[in-house]
Structure 1
């Protein structure tokens, strides 16, 4: 995995290729290793469960990997666009270096947590066949990408909020710049919601794999809460700007309405310009927590329990 947020045309076109190749190659290798199982295991119901869980973990690892690469690409594009609009493109090297160091440290932490999870779930039993070693590798890879996706999904919105969303916008252009950044946070939110919907469909949240399903569900749920918190903070700032701007325009309109020493046509022109500006600010969709997003969350809260209910039968 590339420890960088730098994006090129080739990288954008190949963002899906590596995760898909990993999933396809792992699944093919899994079926090639079926002969490594003992005949007694082949005739046992546990064989099907082992093959199913290994395939599911492979698919989820590829999903986490692809989501991470897309997350980095979107963050890179958003930071470039924001700094370019502010004529501060020279600061991009600083943010890119911070992101690279943060990702490297989080990758090391994810490896440590992945090994700890595998040792805890296996209860320190060593594999005694080639197929079991393969399953161990797949499981470790799943926990690595799962932990890295979770840590990045929590830290990246905080990073963007700290560096790009702390200031109260002073114009519609400033809100548009912030919307490019909140788009990354919305993407993190949507991918977490989508992967949560995959849990009951694949059976990973079922009773047979309750520990894995519970860990993934709690992690993704925390990611959703962190992303919503960042979006809500940006929405509050955008709303505060709109209210303050409209209040300033109302004061100017009140002042102009009481003036009689200026030419009437000049006053009418100024009043019309302020009224048009007020309408533009009031009608501007500045809230990242839009009604469409709220409707999507309500639908998601309805569909997810239904999928769990259907998968349990």
Structure 2
């Protein structure tokens, strides 16, 4: 009996120690929960500050506008930017105001600070504008690249290889998260493919759709990529970080060699491309056999293959 009582007392001590331990751990968990909540609040504050800082960096500072009634309104600033930049439509300005800081020398008008609208898509209208505009566009996108998801510069005669070279400065910037790039009928050659492959290979993880086709109904200068151009593009397709899902190369002067290049690239990086369109090229059924085999294989995700 005494032995049993001793065992019971031992169990009671063990239970008491366990209860004390649980109480201590409960206090620790409560403390950790409090710390996590505090960190969440601090992270939220930091995010708000970062967003505000980003917006301020994106502001446009305009000097030299005479002070007067409505001269700093968002409508007036929008009209001014359209005229100065030679754009064919208004620049959307979310808000604008005069800076409280007086510019030197004394008497000069206060600067106007304008917050431009953020776009996730950018679609340019067909134009005959100077090639240097691509330089301006690339510089603007590179300074604030993280929001743009779609860029469509199709049917622009004067984009050409030199314009693509400027745009690649934006594409290879670390903050670029572009998902769709369309450059149909822009007078591009294999040189543009070389520029694009290098830029996209250095920052490949976001682009999902690439369209370098020719629009048969467009009067713009055609893209003339040919087989060497596709060979350049395949450097991007075979890179491990490439997640491209759709590639359109309509009427680009391609032959069987391009099909061979594409098949080899997809074999080295098979997991992402779903749609490949080769309409209007000098490609026959036997030329696409390797690609057709990939389409039929369960090891590849190619679902759509069009060539005739």
Q: TM-score, normalised by structure 2?
A: 0.24
**Which has the larger strand fraction?**
2
- Point out the structure with max Rg over C-alpha: 2
**Which has the larger helix fraction?**
1
Q: TM-score, normalised by structure 1?
A: 0.24
More contact order relative to length (CA 8 Å, sep ≥ 6): 1
